[in-house]
Amino acid sequence: MKKTPMIAAALVLAGASTAVHAGTTSASEGLTLPEVSEFKRAWGEGIVNIGEIHTSGGDYRQAAEDHILHFYAYGERPVLFKPTLASEDQFRGTFDEALSYFVGGDLAEDGGFAIAPYTNVRWESEGTVISGDTAMSMGNYYFMQTDGNEVKVEYTFGIEKLDSGEIKFVLHHSSLPFTPG
């Protein structure tokens, strides 16, 4: 999407203090584009780490619990989470539902997304809109599988810098790309 003056004005009128696209920075004193980028990168590395721990026979469930506590605002704010590979229980509004998605076990459709394993996560950002302590970010991420193939996932994230200074997901929507039938 090209940012035209009209779109930029609409974002400002809608309360978005700064519209940010790849390569630009935020003028906000709250959340910044480098913080959002680092947060997404660290989240991806955490997913890779959970899979590595699972593969080596370690306590991957604890690693996933720590990951969710670190990156998601469960217990602090409502979290809107729509995982990629969820269709029957498609929304995961609680910590336990998110944990089941990450490592499997509690909900029948969950096979443990984060224990795949993956070797890397690559990001392509369509754009990020920052308003104070919140950011909305959209794009694609690619999970590198152990065979060298990538899995493309589309994402929309809502990220908030909490009063404590911690940055957390309050919205996480992921989906596989549309395949014409």
* Per-residue pLDDT tens over the stretch 118-171: 999 999 999 999 999 999 999 999 999 999 999 999 999 999 999 999 999 999
Give the sign of the dihedral formed by CA 62, CA 67, CA 72, CA 73.
Answer: positive
Instruction: Give the domains, in start order, of the chain with CATH numbers.
Output: 31-175 (3.10.450.50)
Q: What is the pLDDT of residues 59-105, one digit of tens each?
A: 999 999 999 999 999 999 999 999 888 888 888 989 999 999 999 98
What's the pTM? 0.82
What whole-number distance in Å separates Cα of residue 70 and Cα of residue 12? 31
